């Protein structure tokens, strides 16, 4: 017997009734950031204390996904008051329970971080920090799997794609390719068994959006994949997750088995002709496997070396079959688009970039954590309002977006509205959404050196420009950061950057020069200071130590 809409609504009703029976809900963040600050112990302490007091009937304790402000963990939120507490420990439990219904405890209150919590209209993260990621019922109570029902029972595959096209959604994995166009291509491919793949490799060293989505709301991604599979005509899906994310892997596996058990994955979902199942594959520590042809090779059990495209995966993907590959956040946008319509989604954002973007805000900023803002929000709002500015009121220097494929954006562009085009126009990229703030203690040459070391050791080694070129650039930068560079090295850097950008086989080599080109463009004086004055203006490079050691 398969699941019906009545069953789904029944589950939602029971869950909602249960929630309403509680006067207070204590939501403890159990995503990886807070767990590493002992939020698991904290949750148990709350449960014990609530039951010791015999308050179980009106006060619930729930583990929820990421509340966003990872720097201040463990975080809890108290509903319906909407109070957020930071840095909570087991000794605070009694005091917090006593204060329910009264004024918040000033010592723990996140009042100063209000803008962080209030300036984020959420779509992708709408359930993060609100539902228990390990219970499918909690997701269903938030209209979960309704989009899948609507798609399967009320829409033709082509109508699903029309909605995605109308939404203007673009891929969140980096390049910003229109999602609806990609779905159309896979839907049109006529041959064989098609596949849907979720790219959760998230290799950008400074990004944790996808991890957080999978840890906080895994069913949303599963539902997005199922809708996609219906639209393009696929029956098997893969989620390719980094092995470095054990909690995300575990939550995704739990979610898949719950979804199978309930019947939203499996044969004849919602009594339709549609059957779909999902497998999990673990990455093994290779950034290049985020590139789609390398990712396919890796799922097939081979080394992750990209191959020339065309043929594109939409035509020739996993095991040679037509394959749809989208990023985690892209899939996470699908359920609300189907539920509320593509038109609704298209009202949010800028002319060419619709919807919201999740950013992992980190580095020299007070409120490090996960944020979601509409496309078109300015960098200043992100860094200084939501991010709460720079610790110790030091001077802002740059934000780095797009990780090793992106660039450093200087102060003069702080008022720029963020979208795919604007970031590209200043020499960076949207990338997957890592946003690292740097202050005057960060040396831009050192940052370029850091990213080039990354690209050099993550290069798969297949094509010559990337394999040898990244190594040559790294050696030049190494020399400069040690105070041993020559001015002609800067020309050589530009020359090699141009070569890599134009002749490398895949996106890794083609974009690897971006951190160098952008820092050379905006912070050339720092390079020159290292070379001519043998001095690091930010005092980050150990020029003198290096020279003394010689």
Ligand X SMILES: Cc1cc2nc3c(=O)[nH]c(=O)nc-3n(C[C@H](O)[C@H](O)[C@H](O)COP(=O)(O)O)c2cc1C
Residue 266 beta carbon to other proteins: minimum distance, rounded to whole angstroms: 18
In 3D, which of 218, 237, 226, 225 has the Cα closest to residue 269?
A: 226
Q: How far does Cα 470 stand from its chain's mean position?
A: 26
- Rg of the chain over CA atoms, in angstroms? 24
Q: Which two tokens stand for residue 184?
A: 């159309």
Residue 208 beta carbon to other proteins: minimum distance, rounded to whole angstroms: 4
Beta carbons within 10 angstroms of residue 81's beta carbon = 14
Tell which positions 212-271 bind ligand X, by CB under 6 A: none
Helix, strand, coil percent content, the chain, rounded in steps of 5: 50, 15, 35
Rule CB under 8 A: is residue 410 a binding residue for other proteins?
no
In 3D, which of 258, 161, 132, 251 has the Cα closest to residue 200?
A: 251
Q: Which is nearer to ligand X, 330 or 442 (CB)?
A: 330
Residue 471 beta carbon to other proteins: minimum distance, rounded to whole angstroms: 4
User: How many chain residues are in contact with ligand X, going by CB under 6 A?
Assistant: 22
Which of 133, 144, 180, 203 touches ligand X (CB under 6 A)? 203
Residue 276 beta carbon to other proteins: minimum distance, rounded to whole angstroms: 19
Neighbouring C-alpha atoms within 13 Å toward the C-beta of 117: 21
Rule CB under 6 A: is residue 432 a binding residue for ligand X?
yes
The Cα-based distances of 216 to 111, 198, 228 in angstroms read 24, 16, 21
Which of 164, 229, 332, 436 touches other proteins (CB under 8 A)? 436
Rule CB under 8 A: is residue 400 a binding residue for other proteins?
yes
What is the arrangement of strands in the sheet containing 434-439, beginning at the earlier edge strand? 369-374, 356-363, 434-439, 396-401, 407-410
Q: Which is nearer to ligand X, 151 or 169 (CB)?
A: 169
Q: Which is nearer to ligand X, 3 or 294 (CB)?
A: 294
What mask of x and - would describe binding to ligand X in positions 153 to 182, judged by CB under 6 A?
Answer: ------------------xxxxx-x-----
User: How many chain residues are in contact with other proteins, going by CB under 8 A?
Assistant: 90
Q: Which two tokens stand for residue 518?
A: 């952008």
DSSP state of 290: G
Beta carbons within 10 angstroms of residue 302's beta carbon = 10
- The H-or-E segment that residue 525 falls in is helix 524-532
Q: Which is nearer to other proteins, 262 or 299 (CB)?
A: 299
Rule CB under 6 A: is residue 330 a binding residue for ligand X?
yes
Of 8-16, 84-92, 101-109, 287-295, the segment contacting ligand X by CB under 6 A is 287-295
Which of 89, 510, 528, 537 touches other proteins (CB under 8 A)? 510
- The entry of other proteins, ligand X, none that residue 362 binds, CB within 5 to 8 Å by partner kind: other proteins
Q: Which two tokens stand for residue 433?
A: 């959404």
Distance CA 78, CA 322 (A): 47
Which of 12, 28, 29, 70 touches other proteins (CB under 8 A)? 70
- Per CB under 6 A, residues contacting ligand X are 171-175, 177, 199, 201-203, 288, 290-292, 325-327, 330, 432, 506-508
């Amino acid at each position: 017997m398969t699941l019906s809409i009545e069953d789904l609504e029944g589950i939602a009703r029971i869950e909602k009734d249960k929630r309403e029976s509680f006067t207070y809900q204590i939501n403890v963040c159990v995503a990886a950031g807070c767990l590493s600050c002992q939020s698991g112990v904290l949750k148990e302490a709350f449960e014990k204390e609530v039951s010791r007091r015999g308050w179980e009937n009106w006060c619930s304790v729930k583990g929820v996904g990421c509340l966003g402000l990872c720097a201040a963990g463990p975080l809890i939120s108290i509903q319906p008051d909407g109070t957020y507490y930071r840095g909570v420990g087991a000794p605070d439990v009694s005091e917090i329970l006593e204060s329910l219904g009264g004024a918040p405890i000033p010592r723990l209150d996140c009042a100063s971080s209000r803008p962080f919590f209030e300036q984020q209209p959420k779509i992708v993260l709408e359930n993060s920090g609100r539902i228990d990621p390990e219970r499918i019922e909690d997701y269903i109570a938030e209209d979960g799997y309704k989009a899948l029902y609507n798609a399967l029972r009320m829409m033709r595959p082509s109508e699903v794609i029309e909605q995605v096209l109308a939404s203007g959604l673009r891929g969140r994995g980096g390049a910003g390719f229109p999602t609806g166009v990609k779905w159309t291509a896979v839907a049109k491919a006529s041959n064989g068994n098609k596949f849907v793949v979720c790219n959760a490799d998230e290799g950008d060293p400074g990004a944790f959006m996808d991890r957080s989505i999978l840890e906080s709301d895994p069913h949303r991604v599963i539902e997005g994949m199922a809708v996609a599979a219906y639209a393009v005509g696929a029956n098997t899906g893969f989620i390719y997750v980094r092995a470095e994310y054990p909690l995300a892997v575990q939550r995704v596996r739990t979610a898949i088995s719950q979804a199978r058990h309930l019947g939203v994955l499996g044969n004849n979902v919602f009594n339709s002709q549609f059957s779909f199942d999902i497998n999990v594959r673990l990455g093994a520590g290779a950034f290049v496997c985020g590139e789609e042809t390398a990712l396919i090779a890796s799922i097939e059990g081979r080394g992750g070396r990209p191959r020339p495209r065309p043929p594109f995966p939409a035509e020739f993907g996993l095991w040679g079959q037509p394959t749809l590959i989208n990023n985690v956040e892209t899939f996470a946008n699908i359920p609300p688009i189907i539920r509320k319509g593509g038109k609704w989604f298209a009202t949010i954002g800028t002319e060419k970039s619709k919807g919201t973007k999740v950013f992992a805000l980190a580095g020299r900023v007070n409120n490090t954590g996960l944020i979601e803002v509409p496309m078109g929000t300015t960098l200043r709002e992100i860094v200084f309002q939501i991010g709460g500015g720079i610790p110790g009121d030091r001077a802002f220097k740059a934000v780095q977006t797009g990780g090793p494929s992106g660039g450093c954006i200087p102060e003069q562009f702080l008022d720029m509205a963020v979208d795919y085009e604007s970031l590209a126009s200043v020499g960076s990229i949207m990338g997957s959404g890592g946003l690292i703030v740097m202050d005057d203690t960060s040396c831009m040459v050192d940052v370029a050196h850091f990213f080039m070391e990354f690209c050099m050791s993550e290069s798969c080694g297949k094509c010559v420009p990337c394999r040898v070129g990244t190594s040559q650039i790294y050696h030049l930068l190494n020399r400069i950061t040690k105070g041993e560079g020559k001015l002609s090295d800067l020309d050589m850097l530009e020359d090699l950057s141009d070569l890599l950008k134009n002749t490398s086989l895949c996106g890794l080599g083609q974009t690897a020069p971006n951190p160098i080109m952008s820092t050379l463009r905006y912070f050339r004086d720092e390079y020159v200071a290292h070379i001519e004055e043998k001095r690091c203006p930010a005092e980050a490079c150990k020029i003198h130590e290096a020279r003394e050691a010689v």
